[in-house]
Amino acid sequence: MKNVRLYYPLFLGIALAIGIVLGNVLQSTDSDAYLASSSAKKRKLNRLIDLIDQRYVDEVNTDSIVDVTVNGILQNLDPHSVYISSEEADAVHDNMRGDFTGIGIRFFMDNDTISVLSALENGPSNRAGIRGGDKILYADGKPLYGENALDSDILKGKEGSTVTLQVLHPGDTKPVTVKVVRGNVPLKSVDASYMLTNDIGYIRVNRFAESTATEFDNAIDMLLDKGAQELVLDLRDNPGGVLNAAIDISDEFLKDDQLILFQKDRDGERKDSYATSKGDFENKPVYILINENSASASEVVAGALQDNDTGTIIGRRSFGKGLVQQEINLGDGSAVRLTVSRYYTPTGRSIQRPYEKGNDDYYKEYIERYHSGELENESNIKVNDSLRKVTPAGKVVYGGGGIIPDVFVPAPDGYISQSLDYFARAGFADRFANRYLQNEGTRLLNMSEEEFVEEYSVSELLMEDFIQYTQSYNTSISLPGYRDEVALVIKSALAEQLFGTELKVKLLNEQDEMIQKVMELSNTNN
């Protein structure tokens, strides 16, 4: 159970991302036609809420009752029909659009102070010279620490407006004044795009937003200009997002008129999506990396390519989400994401996992993969022969619970290795690295990226400090035998805060077994 407890934060984060923030989302609609009804049951519910509001003995916030009621109704439908409160709506919509207005920082509250993890690339703070390790103490003369620690809304504002910050840089004893002009901040969904070798390009996509297809196109063009003849598309831990973005990316690899997916609504009406002639990587080898946290739109891409006998799917069985939601405005700033159809891969597979026994059972089945051993051994993956399909080239594929890869790569062996892999991928070391930069990292802040990669090595003392840090989270990692792995976790976290996410990805990929499998397959095929 200790191993499973370690992963609960990851399970919760993935479930939240898949169920609330992200999913296979169609274009939203504000049509009141969806809400119009005169049924007696709905009138009864409205009357009950009115009675509580007008006659109940105690003062009651009926808005909260409505929220609870809506959530309760949706939880009895499927795991991915969700309610978005008016308070959540802006953040959710920013994530889907792929941008927001603000100063553009990733931060956390360190005791009672805003500590900057990184200034988002091409954002206002980045241009103003703010970087990882900085502390923001004042905004327009107002303190942002102590009793005002959580009042970070002052950092928001209209595009083009200016906020004057007092920023304490690592190693300094006095803050400096930094003026930041608020602006549009891109939320990048392409974390990294670079050449693994002279011939193999690599792109990592962290989610599917409205801006993802454009980001991906730009990355493809850049890699082609650098001579890419093969491509690795990394969709590990990608929980999904906007369906059209997944269709557009699939189109890059499929030939004209090949089926990408089809959807069916409650009446059985079918909607097909086909590839066009625009693909830039149609006739070149592609490797799609997936794992147990690749879901939704990620599975659309993997399923479309696998069923069309295009490329090679590498990794572990994906999450298994084959439902499509539509966002409907409820008129008060809140919205509902309602499942309106299922999608099917080109061979006719639904990869949606069963959810008839309720949401708790649905997510327990996901956790059960850790107990069953399927992450370590492909033979432990359970398949349903009644859901067996065959691709045009004769490859056998299965529906009913995610995409099973063409080439299986097991999870790291053993509790400690899996823990360190999780720490590296999930940002577990972010706070540790940030505090180190604030206290001891002045020398690192003066390094170039090349110097950091080639010259910086994590000290034994810092590794010992990290082990103590992990113990505060009820883990028991011991250093002997895992020095290289621990050093990589720390260095990659520092790299992201100093130089951006792409360098973190590059460092982690140097020791990555799926990347090594790609190299092996590429060498064999060539």
Give the span between the Cα atoms of 290 and 355, in whole angstroms.
22
Name the band, by pLDDT with cuts 50, 70 and 90, for residue 2.
Answer: very low
- On whether residue 106 sits in a domain, the answer given is yes
Name the band, by pLDDT with cuts 50, 70 and 90, for residue 32.
Answer: low
- 431 shares its domain with 512: yes
Q: Residue 135 sits in a domain of what CATH number?
A: 2.30.42.10
Inform me whether the pLDDT recorded for 42 exceeds 70: yes
Name the band, by pLDDT with cuts 50, 70 and 90, for residue 7.
Answer: very low
Give the span between the Cα atoms of 172 and 493, in whole angstroms.
22
Tell me what the pLDDT averaged over the chain comes to.
87
Give the span between the Cα atoms of 70 and 20, in whole angstroms.
14
pLDDT in tens, 400-415: 989 999 999 999 887 7
Give the span between the Cα atoms of 282 and 231, in whole angstroms.
11
pTM score > 0.85 for this model?
yes
More confident residue, 3 or 439: 439
Length of the chain: 526
Assign 187 to helix, strand or coil. Answer: coil
Inform me whether the pLDDT recorded for 517 exceeds 90: yes
H/E stretch holding 86: helix 86-97
Q: Look at residue 300 in the predicted model and tell me its pLDDT.
A: 98
Inform me whether the pLDDT recorded for 72 exceeds 60: yes
* DSSP for 159-181, written as a single string: TT-EEEEEEE-TT-SS-EEEEEE
Residues 87-105, mean pLDDT to the nearest whole number: 84
Q: Which two tokens stand for residue 285?
A: 């080898």
**Quick one: what percent of the chain has pLDDT higher than 70?**
90
- On whether residue 341 sits in a domain, the answer given is no
- 151 shares its domain with 84: no
- On whether residue 7 sits in a domain, the answer given is yes
Q: Look at residue 422 in the predicted model and tell me its pLDDT.
A: 82
Name the domain boundary from 96, 117, 135.
96
- 138 shares its domain with 91: no
Residues 28-53, mean pLDDT to the nearest whole number: 70
Number of domains in the chain: 3
- On whether residue 392 sits in a domain, the answer given is no
* C-beta of residue 98 within 8 angstroms of C-beta of residue 186: yes
Q: Look at residue 28 in the predicted model and tell me its pLDDT.
A: 54
Name the domain boundary from 67, 96, 125.
96
* C-beta of residue 62 within 8 angstroms of C-beta of residue 49: yes
pLDDT in tens, 413-453: 877 888 888 888 888 899 899 999 988 888 898 899 999 99
- 437 shares its domain with 470: yes
Name the band, by pLDDT with cuts 50, 70 and 90, for residue 21.
Answer: very low
- 455 shares its domain with 502: yes
- 496 shares its domain with 471: yes
Inform me whether the pLDDT recorded for 11 exceeds 60: no
Give the span between the Cα atoms of 453 and 451, in whole angstroms.
6
Q: Look at residue 291 in the predicted model and tell me its pLDDT.
A: 95
Residue 513 Cα distances to 19, 203, 385, 489, angstroms: 29, 16, 30, 16
- On whether residue 522 sits in a domain, the answer given is no
- 157 shares its domain with 89: no
How many other CB atoms are found less than 10 A from the CB of residue 200?
A: 20
- On whether residue 301 sits in a domain, the answer given is no
Least confident residue range of 18-27, 386-395, 456-465: 18-27
- On whether residue 21 sits in a domain, the answer given is yes
Inform me whether the pLDDT recorded for 186 exceeds 60: yes
- On whether residue 350 sits in a domain, the answer given is no
- 64 shares its domain with 15: yes
Catalytic residue annotation: 296, 307, 321
Give the span between the Cα atoms of 231 and 212, in whole angstroms.
17
Look at the block and give the residue holding tokens 């409505």: 66
- 450 shares its domain with 512: yes
Residues 100-124, mean pLDDT to the nearest whole number: 87
Name the band, by pLDDT with cuts 50, 70 and 90, for residue 25.
Answer: low
- 7 shares its domain with 88: yes
- 427 shares its domain with 511: yes
More confident residue, 367 or 258: 258
Name the domain boundary from 141, 157, 186.
186
φ/ψ bin of 276: left (φ > 0), alpha (ψ from -120 to 50), beta (otherwise)? beta
For residue 441, give its domain range. Answer: 415-517
Inform me whether the pLDDT recorded for 183 exceeds 50: yes
Least confident residue range of 167-176, 306-315, 512-521: 167-176
Q: Which residues contact 369 (CB under 8 A, 6 or more apart)?
A: 292, 317, 375
- 84 shares its domain with 42: yes
